[in-house]
Structure 1
Amino acid sequence: MGKQSNAARKAKYERIADDLRDAIRAGEYADDGRLPSESDLMARYGVARMTVRQALSVLQNEGLTESRKGSGVFVSPTPVTGSARLARLEKHGRIYSPGETSTDHVAMIRSCTDGDVIEQLEIEPHDEIVIRRRVFRQDGKPTVVALSCIHMRALAVVPELLEQGQLTPFWQKTYTERTGIEITRSPERRSARLASSDELAALEIDIPATAAVPVLVLHTTFRTADGPIEVWEDVHAPGLWQVDRGTE
């Protein structure tokens, strides 16, 4: 009997944690980042305070939330993965997490020499691609340099890709609306490398020119029936936890 009771109690707080995690991923707390109070959660789920605290502890241990004395529990101001960002955009139309903005939106055409991008886009070395670059900020501080490397065939459908500034709506949505062709994405790939001088400048990291700074790099490849169409690269600032909120 004791074992069954413990298992049931554990399953309940885990279900509550799962529910709140999904809500965070969906951007339901994007306005101010504050989760419901313990009393509200107790009433919502019909459970004891200890069960609610266990669920909140799970989220805090995962780095998704933080407790602020006298104010409550808030979504942590941590960089979100590109895949999670897009999943939230597709489902709820929200691209930003609480306190997040983006700046320095730049568009250009460049000859591609990056071996990984060449492989993922299935192009030849020095083929031209469209590049869109922006910097995501959390409470004004730069956290992610995001680079979209886009196949030239997309430009014929969405010429707005070369417009400077933020594109609204997201260009892939425009592409699908105009062509009826669905764009799918691969699982996110994660690696690390040394940051370039341009990336360090965008992240506002001031160090000697000879210093080496390792950064976390995330790649997501997008495809149509005609082949790969975009490689999205996120370069995360060093010293920050990166949290995957919502790749489903």
Structure 2
Amino acid sequence: MAFKTSGAGYADVAAHFRTLIQDGELAPGGALPSVQEIREQFDVSAKTVSRALSVLKSEGLATGRGSLGTVVTARPRVASTGAARIDRISRTGQPYAAGESSTGHVAMLRSCADPDIAEQLGIELHDEIVVRRRVFLQNEQPTVVALSCLHPRALAAVPELLQHGQLRPFWQTTYTERTGRTVTRSPERRGARLATAGELEALQVVAPPTAAVPVLVLHTAFHDEDGPIEVWEDVYAPGLWQVSGSV
């Protein structure tokens, strides 16, 4: 993905290559362009390129490799956030980053017993919702237990939501095609709580039965013109870095 940008700063250069790495266009082990090539591409000084590469190295995205220059590192302890997944799909059409996959896709109708989810969906506590669950993996290691909690009105347009397995294309794309309504995303909300036994099992976290294991939880809400329609709850394995959708 080559282009020339006059007057770019080191943060712009770093952001460009960060996005290529997160989207998988630069895979682990792959070499970044040389300093001279980056200088020409962005019309910047060698010092600016050096600062940009230092940022990528400090983030664990790249490393120096002798005669190969700067190469992309393997990052087994990094997981994408929901916003990053949506942004990647919009940019590339690809549901997964390099080394990422998912498993255990199930769908069900459930009573909503979580007051926070009920409030975000604009429903009464214990109203019935659609729940879709899957586990994301990075290099075959579980990283995220992901729930999609959907307002029941979504079923009228996309009854496939109750099918087990992956939905392709992304269900919101199908919803927009069938209803003409655009789905928009609110900013992510971050919090923490203790993991449930089921979440620890799915994430393959070994802990004593009485242990309290804190986990990061991200909520991403989606709306159409009639109000809230979906809330994502992503529960991250301990010790992970998160790749956000803000780049």
TM tier relative to shorter chain? 0.7 to 0.9
- How big is each residue's C-alpha offset from its partner over 1:162-216, in whole Å with a ceiling of 9 and x where there is no partner? 1111111110110000000011111000000000111101101121111110000
Q: Is the 8 A contact 2:28 2:71 kept in 1?
A: no
Q: Does 1:74 align with 2:72?
A: yes
Matching of residues 158-197 of structure 1 within 5 Å? 158-197=158-197
Instruction: Supply the distance in 1 between the matched residues of 2:73 and 2:152 (Cα, whole angstroms).
Output: 38
The residue that corresponds to 1:52 in the other structure is: 49
Number of corresponding residues: 236
| CA distance in structure 1 between the aligned counterparts of 2:29 and 2:167, rounded to whole angstroms | 25
Unaligned ranges ≥5, structure 2: 1-6
Paired position in structure 1 for 2:34: 38
After alignment, is 153-162 or 83-92 more displaced? 83-92
User: Do the aligned residues in 1 keep the contact of 2:100 with 2:136 (CA within 8 Å)?
Assistant: yes
Change (3 A) 1:59 1:205: same
Structure 1 unpaired stretches of 5+? 1-9
- In the alignment, which residue of structure 2 is the partner of 1:19? 16
- Structure 1 stretches of 4+ with a deviation exceeding 4 A read 30-33, 46-50
Looking at structure 2, the residues matched to 183 and 41 of structure 1 have their Cα atoms a distance apart, in angstroms, of: 37
Alpha-carbon distance in 2 for matches of 1:33, 1:171: 34
Distance 1:119 1:35 in 2: 47
| Matches for 1:91-130 after TM superposition, within 5 Å | 91-130=91-130
Displacement after TM superposition at 1:76 (Å): 5.6
- Cα-to-partner distance string for 1:59-104 (whole Å, 9 max, x where unaligned): 233x261316356421663111101111111232112111111111
User: Is 1:65 paired with 2:38?
Assistant: no
Structure 2 equivalent of residue 6 of structure 1: none
- The answer to whether structure 1 residue 147 and structure 2 residue 143 are counterparts is no
Q: Cα deviation per residue 1:81-135 (whole Å; 9 max; x = unaligned)?
A: 1011111112321121111111111111101100100100011111110000111
- Give % identity: 55
Contact in 1 for aligned 2:135/2:202 (Cα 8 Å): yes
TM-score (norm 1): 0.87
Note the aligned Cα RMSD (angstroms): 2.2
1:200-211 pair list within 5 angstroms: 200-211=200-211
Distance of 2:91 and 2:33 partners within structure 1? 26
> Secondary structure at 1:91's aligned position in 2?
helix
